[in-house]
Structures are given as C-alpha cells and as structure tokens.
Structure 1
Amino acid sequence: MTQLLKCALLLTSIVVLSSCGFRLQGSYQLPDQLQQMQLQAPQFSEFAEQAKDRFTQAGIELVEQSGVYQVEIVDDTLTRRTLSLSASGQVAEYELIYKVNYLLRDPQGRSAALEVEVFRDYQDDPNFALAKTREREIIVAEMREQAAQQLLRQVIARVSASTSE
C-alpha cells in the first residue's frame, strides 16, 4: 500500500510541475527561426565568447551564412559611478554598470538597435587594494555572464514576437 501511495504522490507531483510550466533554468523554447544564427562581434571580445557559449548551450547553431537572424555586438562598456564616500572623503562604494549595445537583424535585413545593462554595487577599500582588484575582476566576469544571458533572452523574445505577428 505504501509503495502505491509513493507512486501516486510522485506521479501527482510530476503532473503538477509539468502543468505549471516548470522548466530547468537555462532551458529555452527556441522559435524555429533561431535554430541557426549568425553572431558578429569585435575581435578579442570577452563578452562575445560568453555570448557564443550561451547561444550554443541554448541549442542555437552559430553559422556564417546569410539568410538567418544576425546579432552584431557593437560594443560593450564598463563604467562606474560613485555611490558613497567615507568620512575621510575617499570613495567607499561604486556602482558598476556593464552595457552591451547590439543590433538584431532579421533574414530580410531589417534591424533593431538594442542594449543590455547589468548593475552591481562594489565596495572599495584602499587598505585591501589587491584583494579588491581581484574581487572587481570576478564581479565583472559575473556581469558579463549575466549580460550574455539577458542578451539571449532578449533575442528569443524579439524573434518569438516577430514570428507571432
């Protein structure tokens, strides 16, 4: 009896999870038009490598042919803004802003200029300059990863919206 109850409970939880639209993080329903795509980026771009990884992990084949959607990464910039000062007048906290500008072109050649922005706060301490420099590098790498995920989601949403019209 307990074995039957366990099976029924497992089956019920599977049905509930699948009916509510639950999916593992990072799994996307790609429109048919995004099975193949072209990605253009500046040479030696660290962000471009992140974006390529994200697109291929999502199941998009990156090709060099025309007649497919194209993403052209125009530039990616990292800026910082002072958020607070210490009692001695030194900067105590920054806001890091990572911005990616890109063009999304459909197979007919129409394009849309889009951007992705990621924000993070970063506390600075001149007494630990070396450690804070390493921490900042890690934060920037995480911001690139987050921006690549946002880029992928934006492209999928835009292509899905344009095909449903």
Structure 2
Amino acid sequence: MHKHRWVPSFLRFGLVLCLLAMSSCGFQLRGVNDIAFKNLYLQGQNVSIARDLKRSLLSNGVALVPTPEQADLMLEILSESAEKRILSLSGTGRVREFELNYQVNFRIKDPSNELWGMPQTISGRRDFTFDDSQLLAKQGEEARLNDDMRADAVRELMHVLSVQRPKPRTKPPVE
C-alpha cells in the first residue's frame, strides 16, 4: 500500500506541467473571446437570436447600452428567417426528409463613422428525416435543430464582433 505513494505527487506534477504548457501556447477556453470593445448598442432586439446574443455578449464582458452615443460599436440585426422545405418524398407521396434553413442579416457600425458597414449574412442548414408515426419526437428534433442553428449563428456573430477594432472615442472639448 505504501509502495505507490509517489503516484499522487507525480500526477500533480504532470497536471501542473500540462496547465503550464497549455497557458504558454495561447490556449483559451471555448467561448472566451478577446473583444476590443466594452459597450455595444444593439438595434433589432425583437428577433429570436437577440436573447441568446445578449447572453453571450454579457458573458464576454460586453455591456449593452441604451443609446448609440454610449456605444463603442453598433450592431443592427436587419432580418432573421427560418424556413422549412420538403427535401424528399416516399414512393407513396409522403414526406421523408425536410431541410431547415436559418439566416440572419446584420450590419456593424463604428460610432465614429457616419456610414454603416455592408450587410452581412450568417446562415445555417440542417436536414432531418421525417416519420409521421413519430410526430411528437420529430417536432422536438426540429425544434432542437432550429435552436442549434441559432446557437451556431450566435457563435459566428460573436466571432465577427471579436475581430472588430473600433476607433477610440474622443471626448468633445469642454468649453
């Protein structure tokens, strides 16, 4: 029993060594972004992606401000759409597969610039099989796929925002 007493200290040393190696190579936990701005003004908050986006922004240390004047960066959600179309039919004319499409259009503006940036699009697509004998299960699967596409869009939008480098705001001269 006392012969293997060196194992716990060896494991601790190995763990410390792994942590040092990961921190020295620039490892960062997923979802932790190096965002160069601290305040964001969000236009278009009546879309379903807004709630998840707000949560992600707040968890990354970005405050949502009520006016554009307080913002380091401005984001406008232009549109959001979710579509469902038939992908294939069985020989008897019953739906076998559906295709789900999700799309978000947005644009970004640096408050120091008078013009908005070009509209950008994030889109997602998922296919799923359909069986009308399992209607409730398939409705649940469809809802999960739509939620996954929205979460992917939030992650991609956070990546787009993380590479934005707004110009520093200058305070107006005091008279």
Fold shared, TM-score > 0.5 on shorter chain:
yes
5 Å matches for 1:132-143?
132-143=138-149
Answer yes or no: is the 8 Å Cα contact 2:74–2:109 preserved in 1. yes
Residue 58 (structure 2) aligns with: 56
Identity %: 27
Compare 118-127 and 80-89 and name the one that shifted more: 80-89
Matched with 1:96 is 100
SS in 2 for 1:28: coil
Does the residue aligned with 1:74 lie in a helix, a strand or coil? strand
Residue 40 of structure 1 pairs with residue 46 of structure 2: no
Within 5 Å, give how 1:70-149 maps onto structure 2. Answer: 70-107=74-111, 108-112=113-117, 113-149=119-155
The superposition leaves residues 102-159 of structure 1 with CA deviations (integer Å, 9 ceiling, x where unpaired) of 11111223322111111211211122223322321222122222211211111112x0
Number of residue-to-residue matches in the alignment: 158
Larger deviation, residues 120-129 vs 78-87: 78-87
* Aligned-partner SS, 2:40: strand
Structure ID, larger Rg: 2
Distance 1:17 1:42, change over 3 A: closer
> In 2, distance between residues paired with 1:26 and 1:77?
25
Contact persistence 2:38–2:72 (CA under 8 A): no
Superposed CA deviations along residues 49-100 of structure 1, whole A, max 9, x for unmatched, are 1111111111111102325211111111012343322232322112211000
Gaps of 5+ in 2: 168-175
Relative to its length, the structure with more helix (as a share) is 1
Give me the whole-angstrom Cα distance separating, in 1, the residues matched to 2:146 and 2:89: 22
CA distance in 2, matches of 1:139, 1:5: 45
Cα 1:110–1:131 change in 2 (3 A) is same
